[in-house]
Amino acid sequence: MQITDSIYGRVSIQDRDIIELIKTKAFQRLAHIKQQGHTYYLHPNATHTRIEHSIGVYVLVNKVITHLTTISDIDLTEYEQKVVSIVALLHDIGHGPYSHCFQRISGQDHGDWTIQIIQEDRDVRTILERTPNLLEDVIQALSEENSFPIIDELLFCSLGMDQLDFWNRDLYYSSLQVERIPIEKLISTMRMVNQKLVIEESGVPYIEHLVKVKSALYHNGFGHPFVVGKDLLFQLIFQKIKEDNISFYSPLLQNFFQKREKELEVKDFVHLVDEVILNEMKYFAVSEHEQLAELAQLYLSKSRSLDWESGLEGDFACYKKEVRYISEVMKEKKGYSSYIGGIYINKNSHFMDILELSKYIQEMVALPKREYMYYL
Q: Model confidence over 244-270: pLDDT tens digits?
A: 999 999 999 999 999 877 788 999 999
How much is the pLDDT for 87? 98
How much is the pLDDT for 321? 60
- As a whole number of angstroms, the distance between CA 48 and CA 58 comes to 17
Q: Yes or no: say if 84 and 151 are a contact pair by the CB < 8 Å rule.
A: yes
Residue 349 pLDDT > 90, yes or no?
no
Within 10 angstroms of residue 290's Cβ, the number of other Cβ atoms is 8
- As a whole number of angstroms, the distance between CA 160 and CA 283 comes to 41
Fold of 2-190: Hypothetical protein af1432 (1.10.3210)
Q: What is the mean pLDDT of residues 285-311?
A: 95
Q: Where are the domains of the chain?
A: 2-190
- As a whole number of angstroms, the distance between CA 316 and CA 310 comes to 9
pTM: 0.95
Q: Yes or no: say if 31 and 80 are a contact pair by the CB < 8 Å rule.
A: no
Least confident of 163-167, 269-273, 315-319, 366-370: 315-319
- As a whole number of angstroms, the distance between CA 110 and CA 359 comes to 37
